[in-house]
Structure 1
């Protein structure tokens, strides 16, 4: 039972109800797109790339509406709040999957391109975000959408546990569990960096 069956006004056509629902939550959709795109900003080359993210998010919102089962919602909870939390997870998951693939392809293109022999090299240091992405490149595919979102918001957005919990509509304990899982998955990277550091010294 799509959420629009619950959301629709009496005798309102289903497609009109969905258009109204999407319009109501367009700011949230845009915010989720912005948060996910922020981490990969250096690899989104044009406005069309960002438009692709918006289309993916909107499709995921529609997908969430179609898959939502209102009969499973606890009677003590607001069905619309539960749906939006579900839709947010769906959008974050779809965007995260797409961006990780997009980043991988962009990285390969960047590394395989050859510079003109007469080009003046750019000696300016890379932005910190790009440096971090290069370090994390091999590990990103193994992170869950939630872990990727946590990494994005803490590393580049400077969000704290409470802010992330409120945005994701989960408990702070759940957010801390993402952090714990993330640290475990990135432990090999930490060891690698420490080994390189000791060799240099």
Structure 2
């Protein structure tokens, strides 16, 4: 343990957390990653042993390591969800190259979607835009557009009864 309170350590090491995020090119989901960095600093604060070296070095390694671990988990999660979403979209025939009537199949349900959900649906189904292209078009993050997609899939899968498939 250090002689300072954690609040003081957190105040002193905020630049370290932000610097590590910058070095790792973390610009999206800033608050989430910043929280991961704060938790890592807390772990460093709790587990620091003075005889093993300087706290600053230990804190930097801990924060950087936890941020990298979280980046890996996020990448794995996104990879899994893209596959999962593709399976769900295929299952409900939302996206098919040969079936022009797939859009019409969902028209009765579109009024139940929010404006943003309709935007995702339209941009994806009709205009064949990617997540990043939709995000850029609507000036939001890809994470935000992914949440629209998730909501649409959830609503449509709930509304579409298995008998209709």
**TM-score, normalised on structure 2?**
0.49
Larger radius of gyration: 2
**TM-score, normalised on structure 1?**
0.41
